[in-house]
Chain A
Amino acid sequence: MSLLWVPLLSLIGSFVSAFSGKLSRNMSTLLCAAFPAFALAIVVYHGAAVLDGETLRFHIPWIPLLGINLSFRLDGLALLFCFMILGIGLLVILYARYYLSTKDSMPKFYAYLLLFMTAMLGIVMSNNIIQLWLFWELTSISSFLLISYWWHSSDARRGARMALTITGAGGLALLAGFVLLGHIVGSYDLDVILGQADLIKNHALYPVTLCLILLGAFTKSAQFPFHFWLPHAMAAPTPVSAYLHSATMVKAGIFLLARFYPALSGTELWFLLVALTGLATLLVGAYMALFKHDLKGLLAYSTISHLGLITLLLGLDTELATVAAIFHIINHATFKASLFMATGIIDHETGSRDMRKLNGLWQYLPYTATLAMVAAASMAGVPLLNGFLSKEMFFAETLHQQILGSMSWLIPVLATLAAAFSVAYSMRFIHDVFFNGEPIGLTKTPHEPPRYMRVPVEILVALCIIVGMFPHFAVDDILSVASQAVLGHRAPEFNLAIWHGLNLPLMMSVFAVAVGIFIYVQRKHLFQFQASLPDLDPKRGFLVGVKSLVNYAERISGALENGSLQRYVVLLLLVVVIFAGLPLFEMEKLVGNQGLTPIDPHNAIGATLLIIGALATVIWHRVRMVALLMISIVGLMVAVAFTRFSAPDLALTQLTVEVVTVVLLMLALFFLPHRTPKESSSIRLLRDVGVASSVGVIIGSICYAILTRPLNSISDFFVANAKTGGGGTNVVNVILVDFRGFDTLGEITVLGIAGLGIFKLLANLPLFMPASDGDGRPWARERHPMLLASISQTLLPLAILVTVYIFLRGHNLPGGGFIAGLVTAIAFILQYIAHGSNWIYERFNVNYRKIIASGIAIAFLTGVGSWAFDRPFLTSWFEYFDIPAVGKIELASAIAFDLGVYLTVVGATLMILASLGRLTASSHEKQEAN
């Protein structure tokens, strides 16, 4: 099975889980677990080859031009993370089955969880950094969904928002870093990038790139000072915390550091930034953890501190430090996930996570308590458990590094101090919760959880012990291939053993335990000291920043968006005036070198009429009926202009559209006031006239500049090929149905959508029914004049005949689907006007929506038809046939396409006008009934 299936299976699982609401809880859990289990099997199947040192790859070109491909790889590091993601994921799925109550939606939870799993698998397996980033952002989004799973709690919403803001912002920095990296190397391929370490490190952009990528990693892995989102994310259900905040999501940042270790590390800047950030995080986390009364809060800060530890290790300049970092990734995942799960059990059984209330639980939950205590001991670094081994390695490496020059001794000292705090908070976790007297104020008596809820914890704790006692057997292989992937060459010799002899690291451990116990015993004084400190959490800065940003955005949008359409339009037009007007002033000469044609009297008369019509519309715009008449003069003159300047198709279209538009606006006037009151102040009028005339002057000037310059067009191609390639002599029509047929298909679709939109807008219209026109005169009773009725009825067949003629000749002479459709529509509208819609409805009951649909379908299918002949979409076909007695005729696929255009135009136009017309008719009937 190919590597693609690993993330794909969990993605499919996510969709399947989302629809498993009908199944029982057990079935739904089983179904959800099947997908990652299968993916895990695939990983195990490939694992053998990877453990032998191979790197498996999978590659599909996606946008090769931009260097963006779908490509995955599985090396030692990815294998280790896949095991953790899928393995712990499966345990969490089982655990969540018992943790979630019947009120919580299981399908939703599992769908989000598997979506998150997909994202994590994508990150660790990506072989293309843009793709990696995509999955990186998907983890931010899916973790947002998981943290806000209990969306009704405001804490959950706030925590989710905070996590998304911080990790999302970091993700943007990461993207910038990746783009720079791609720019430096010239490829987004991870294989290529990892092989170009020298090029990257010597590039001038290296410091910026490094800082941006580290910003992404540090925000994700909750490094100081971005750590504060993690404690707030504890509002998530505990299985989410066990999964995201111990083993996976927060490890993504660490993974990123490890993944780019061969390409980016080894410089002074890397060591300082990574090591010092790690050190600060380690100390702050360990210190703060002690003061949290919430169990999950304690674990959250402890996680922060351990993440700092791993980061610090990656920032040390010895190779063994890297091995130790990877070892600690494994160990931390096992003991922290089990601790979170144990906390979930305690919360589930007692209804509280407050350590001031929880005491003496040993007597109620002896089994769970034992498991939790083993895990907590591992967290503290007690011998025979896995946490001890990596902590010893950590101490040893702090002694070997040289990154702070002569002050390098500070690092082992501070590391021991942090370890002492970690012993102290682990002790608090054990002593405060399971011993230390009786529980206070619990609402229910705790007892052991369901059998299978404990199984995941048991497995993880067993792992802690196995790794702790037989490290060589358990993790040697995977650790060495993973280290090899991080270091880029064979891992150095390392010896995982419980007993290394009486050496300095062991002394440091003993010292840390002793100091830790002392701190815990004397904690009262520390608590008092901490309580007297002002709140130094960087969270406050974040909150203040967010608040001021929101206020600023509100002020800006409030200032711009005041609800006045006029104001928006004026602002937009001013932008046009500036950007279109200024270049005109820079031009030397407006008039081009093409000779002007003389003005003949016909043109002069037409232009005068057009200008008079336009001005009259403006002058009488308050008397709406008059304005409508005036604007129709303008439309008519535009049609005449098209006729004059060799565009017969345009003239026909303009003429027919003009008729339809005027009918439409007349109908509209029935529902709208007939006069516009005088409202505009003089200053407003002055402003509008100013804006309108400046835009007019600019557009007119541009038009003049175009007209007086020679034409350089691509149209020669169309003229040359219309007959031979498209089979028609009317070039405009051939362009519409053939050369640019795809455009036309889009346009009739828009037409159809507009028609449907109008249909919906008119549905359930609360009718505003004026009883009289604007001046108080009642509407005429005589609705359908006899003369018009009989003439229009006689005209209809004639009009249809004309339509057919216009349609058929369209390919070779002016005409075609658009014009024929409009003429048909006008013929029918005349019937509506003459007889009323009820009369038509009785005789000609057609669903116009179906006509629109069939029109678009015919046009589309004509296009699809060319696939049958192995041609691209919308290739046209034509042939001449000799039919006896009729003569030579041409058949072309373009005719079918034009038929689709025709039907859509007829359907849309009639739907618009007929539905509006029907409303006026029904309002008339209501009046008559009254």
Chain B
Amino acid sequence: MELLYACCVGVLVSCGIFLLLRARTFPVVLGLTMLSYAVNLFLFASGRLVVNQAAVLGYSTSYSDPLPQALVLTAIVIGFAMTAFVVILAIRGRADLGHDHVHMAFPKLKKGNK
């Protein structure tokens, strides 16, 4: 089971990064979303994989590790806020620049104009 889980995390990371490296905003947002799935699963895994032992007192004899769960819970919500921010940034960029490239050409500094 552990091997399968680790494979899933690895695949999600790879797919996320591949999308992150695309040149347009929307695939980058998808990549970030996928990467955050991977990160959340990875963090969650630090509490190990146990079945039917939810950390609710009185429902079982031993419990899964609640600390990574608490951390991941807020990470999910914050991850959404960040995704939303990036999406809106992409929309704003499209509106202001007229395209959705992530590549920006810097105007070269003129010599002597320092």
Contacts and interface: CB of A to CB of B under 8 A. Distances in A.
Contact of B67 (A597, A700, A704, A718): A718
A621 interface: yes
Interface in B91-109: 91-92, 94-96, 98, 100, 102-106, 109
Interface stretch (A75-83, A508-516, A688-696, A862-870): A688-696
Contacts of A731: 55-57, 63, 66
A562 B106 contact: yes
A668 B87 contact: yes
Contact of B76 (A648, A653, A695, A912): A653
A676 B22 contact: yes
Nearest to A667: B87
Interface string A720-761: 001100000111100110001001100100110011011001
Contacts of A650: 44, 69, 72-73, 76
A699 interface: yes
A295 to B, nearest CB: 32
A764 B100 CA distance: 19
A672 B91 CA distance: 7
Contacts of B82: 754
A842 B99 CA distance: 35
Contact of B19 (A562, A597, A621, A758): A621
B48 to A, nearest CB: 5
A638 B88 CA distance: 25
A736 B95 contact: no
B37 A634 contact: yes
A894 B92 CA distance: 39
Given A665-B87, A719-B55, A747 B67 contact: no
A618 B91 contact: no
A671 interface: yes
Contacts of A747: 74, 77-78
Contacts of B17: 573, 688, 691-692, 695-696
A638 B23 contact: no
A598 B2 CA distance: 9
A624 B76 CA distance: 23
Interface in A563-578: 563-566, 569-570, 573
A671 B94 CA distance: 8
B26 A735 contact: no
Contacts of B95: 671, 765-768
Interface in B1-22: 1-22
A905 interface: yes
Interface in A585-619: 596-600, 603-604, 607, 610-611, 614-615, 617-618
* A interface SS class: helix
A857 to B, nearest CB: 19
Given A634-B34, A692-B17, A715 B56 contact: no
A559 B44 CA distance: 39
A200 B81 CA distance: 56
A768 B25 CA distance: 16
Max count, chain B CB within 10 A of own CB: residue among A563, A621, A653, A703:
A703
Given A646-B50, A703-B10, A736 B94 contact: no
Contacts of A768: 94-95, 98
Given A715-B66, A732-B55, A758-B85, A638 B47 contact: no
Given A650-B76, A696-B17, A740-B70, A596 B2 contact: yes
B10 A696 contact: yes
Given A562-B106, A765-B95, A615 B9 contact: no
Contacts of A284: none
A646 B54 contact: yes
Contact of B25 (A597, A672, A755, A757): A672
Contacts of A660: 80
A391 B14 CA distance: 79
Contacts of B48: 707, 711
A598 B3 CA distance: 10
Contacts of A604: 4
Contact of A814 (B18, B56, B63): B56
Interface residues of B, number: 90
A247 B18 CA distance: 64
B95 to A, nearest CB: 5
Nearest to B6: A704
Nearest to B5: A707
A759 to B, nearest CB: 9
A188 interface: no
A679 interface: yes
A881 interface: no
A661 interface: yes
A594 to B, nearest CB: 8
Contacts of B87: 664-665, 668
Nearest to B27: A621
Given A564-B103, A599-B4, A700 B21 contact: no
B74 A736 contact: yes
Contacts of B28: 565
A697 interface: yes
B6 A641 contact: no
A750 B70 contact: no
A657 B22 contact: no
A196 B60 CA distance: 66
B64 A696 contact: no
Given A565-B102, A664-B83, A762 B15 contact: no
Contacts of A661: 33, 80, 83
Given A610-B8, A638-B40, A680 B22 contact: yes
B92 A735 contact: no
A187 interface: no
B64 A646 contact: yes
Given A750-B78, A761-B92, A645 B51 contact: yes
A550 interface: yes
B35 to A, nearest CB: 10
A238 B63 CA distance: 76
Given A617-B30, A707-B2, A758-B88, A653 B77 contact: yes
Interface of B: 1-30, 33-34, 37-38, 40-42, 44-58, 63-67, 69-70, 72-74, 76-85, 87-92, 94-96, 98, 100, 102-106, 109, 114
6 contacts: A680-B22, A680-B23, A695-B14, A707-B5, A719-B63, A747-B74
Given A661-B83, A679-B23, A754-B81, 11 more contacts: A646-B50, A653-B73, A672-B26, A673-B100, A696-B14, A729-B56, A730-B56, A747-B78, A758-B88, A812-B56, A822-B77
Interface of A: 550, 554, 561-566, 569-570, 573, 596-600, 603-604, 607, 610-611, 614-615, 617-618, 621-622, 624, 627-628, 631, 634-635, 638, 641-642, 644-650, 653-654, 657, 660-661, 664-665, 668-669, 671-673, 676, 679-680, 688-689, 691-693, 695-697, 699-704, 706-708, 711, 713-715, 718-719, 722-723, 729-732, 735-736, 740, 743-744, 747, 750-751, 754-755, 757-758, 761-762, 765-768, 812-814, 818, 822, 905, 908-909, 912, 916
The 8 closest A-B pairs by CB, nearest first: A700-B10, A696-B14, A704-B6, A754-B81, A729-B57, A731-B66, A692-B17, A735-B70
